[in-house]
Amino acid sequence: MATYLFAWNPSLWNWPELAQDIRTLKRRGHFDTEWNSGRVRNIEIGSRAFLIRVGVPPKGLFGAGYTLTAPVPTTHWRPEKAAKGAMQQRLTLRLESLHPLPLITYDDLAVSPFKRFRWGVRSSGVRIPSTLAEAIEELWESRLAATVATGPKGSPRRARGRAAG
């Protein structure tokens, strides 16, 4: 399956429910959301999906999951574009990981092998080349493992329970 980027620009939409959606994901193990796929119509169900924060720092990858549906045409999500009759493609994503800040930053993406790809996408539905998809997956998994091993601000998590003595 292919791997795609789905963009979020806080200057265009501030995602007021982000903290609540993260809590929902932690409780359920996933979070389903409808997302714009730009003009891209040929994204297969089950394709890998990464959310990338663009436009406003901190920029980078902050969510991951899979596509649950194929794109379908809908009226554009921005009212001013919808008023002019603009259309977009929309699909459902199942996010298995969602974070308030990027786990992989633009600084991380500015080094080999990632630097040869333009991560500052202007719309969603951009396909990541398969040669980079494997590398980004490995980096993502290592960052996820690091968040499990550390607390919310990077401090080591305390073990639960009493120490045997």
Q: Give the helix/strand (H/E) hosting 19.
A: helix 18-28
pLDDT exceeds 50 at position 34:
yes
Per-residue model confidence (pLDDT) at position 81: 87
pLDDT at 151 (0 to 100): 57
Q: How confident is the model at residue 76 (pLDDT cuts 50, 70, 90)?
A: confident
CB atoms within 10 A of CB 49: 26
Give tens-digit pLDDT for 113-125: 999 999 999 999 9
Q: Which two tokens stand for residue 3?
A: 């791997």
Q: Which residues contact 137 (CB under 8 A, 6 or more apart)?
A: 3, 48
Confidence grade of residue 157 (pLDDT, cut at 50, 70, 90): very low
Q: Residue 61 above 90 pLDDT?
A: yes
pLDDT band at 87 (very low <50, low <70, confident <90, very high): confident
Using a pLDDT cut of 90, give the percent of the chain over it: 78
What span, in angstroms and rounded, lies between the C-alpha atoms of 111 and 80? 38
Query: For the chain, what is the mean pLDDT?
Result: 90
The pLDDT of residue 163: 34
pLDDT in tens, 95-152: 999 999 999 999 999 999 999 999 999 999 999 999 999 999 999 999 999 988 775 5
CA–CA distance, 145 with 6 (Å, rounded to integer): 23
